[in-house]
Structure 1
């Protein structure tokens, strides 16, 4: 039987109804296929069966096995061995662990992320301007005081390092607070608001009696019009 290469790696959960469908075939299918199938339909079957085995059974039932299926007492339905029927109620690759589904971000979350990115860039630019500005101011002040060039450079570097460390600490604190507030905002948005659903249902009837009276009047008018046409 021709088998595609990708299907050999797939495993199908061997459910109880699938076992009841496959076991009657062990006595009528070809010996090589029966031997392979019996290793999965034994008394203590494994939890899965290869997709290729089910595909071979389906191909046999739709081609050379039609007469064998009809000759059984009672006859076996060939449609019960199509791939759609065999895979119904089963799970593909139950032994594999797939990652959790991450829904795409909404428009509000994307806009919030862009705004946070702009704020981060602005904070970094402000930090760089503060570092270079303070270093230049100290260098200029030392020049006015008549310091030597090497002392002026060392003092400017020291001030720049102090300002850089301070700005880095402030930026990390701001970043941690912003991330915590963003996560709380996202969680609150994902919660279901029962009052919102009530609003979406539309305004409630102010006077239900008026609505029932209008419906009754329209029905009576329609009935009278139908009677006039018949006369």
Structure 2
């Protein structure tokens, strides 16, 4: 018995209840007592997967095959495939909603946007340090004290950093809206292309029929002229 089946339940469908009731009296006493808790009226909505597995394993034993054969019952009807047919695994559990993966177009757009964002950040860092160093170097000719030169360079760097941050936020917001519009346009274009292909495929048989009809009419007219 695998560890993955522990704790799993199976929905006890009406056809499964009937199948288990038919084999209940042929089971060993211990297994019969376990099964009676679930198939007795009113039947429970679920049954442990392990219990069904025990019934299936018993049906494959020599003693189980003999008892089932004496009651004109087929052991294959109690295999796990037959018992689990039409049932639901763990219906009492609430699984999360399935989130489909993004389309290839959206993935490509996201990767391109990430590369642009990284490039913009690197350029901003170089701009900040470059502006600060340029301000410090330019203030060297003013005769200021060293601490004033450093403060001036830092102030210029902070101003450039703030401006770069604002520009980056604006670029990010515009890039997000543009990317969503492009993906929507791409989906619409794809749908339009599929519609055009379908319409062409539908028109081709009509054109063939028209061409064949025209050929038949032309041959009929020639035959009439020959007869005249």
Q: What is the TM-score when the length of structure 1 is the normalising length?
A: 0.76
Task: List gaps (5 residues or longer) in structure 2.
Answer: 217-228
* Alignment partners' CA distance in 2, 1:134 and 1:147: 18
1:27 to 8, 25, 28: 25
- List runs of 5+ in structure 1 lacking aligned partners: 216-231
Q: Does residue 112 in structure 1 map to residue 113 in structure 2? A: no
Using the alignment, how far apart are the partners of 1:125 and 1:211 within structure 2? Answer: 68
How far off its partner does 1:192 sit? 9.0
Distance 1:21 1:212 in 2: 63
Indicate the residue corresponding to 2:221 in structure 1: none
Q: What corresponds to 1:228 in structure 2?
A: none
1:165 Cα deviation after fit = 2.0
Matches of 2:53 and 2:209 in 1, distance apart? 62
| Distance across 1 between alignment mates of 2:95 and 2:185 | 29
1:157-209 CA-partner distances (Å, limit 9, x unpaired): 11111211221232123223323433454455456965333333345233523
| More divergent stretch after superposition (52-61 vs 205-214) | 205-214
Which has the larger displacement, 190-199 or 130-139? 190-199
Q: C-alpha displacement at 1:98, in angstroms?
A: 4.5
Aligned pairs for 1:81-96 within 5 A: 81-94=78-91, 95-96=93-94
Mapping of residues 177-192 of structure 1, within 5 Å: 177-186=174-183, 189=186
> Alignment length, in residue pairs?
210
SS class of match (2:44): coil
Q: 1:10 to 1:123 in 2, by over 3 A?
A: same
Q: Does 1:208 align with 2:209?
A: yes
Within 5 Å, which residues of 2 pair with 1:1-231? 3-63=1-61, 64-72=63-71, 75-94=72-91, 95-98=93-96, 100-103=98-101, 105-106=103-104, 108-186=105-183, 189=186, 194-201=191-198, 202-203=200-201, 204-205=203-204, 206=207, 208-211=209-212
Q: TM-score, normalising length from structure 2?
A: 0.77
Deviations 1:36-88 (A, max 9, x none): 1111212233332222211111122232223322333xx33322211111111
**Structure 2 CA distance for aligned equivalents of residues 182 and 191 of structure 1:** 14
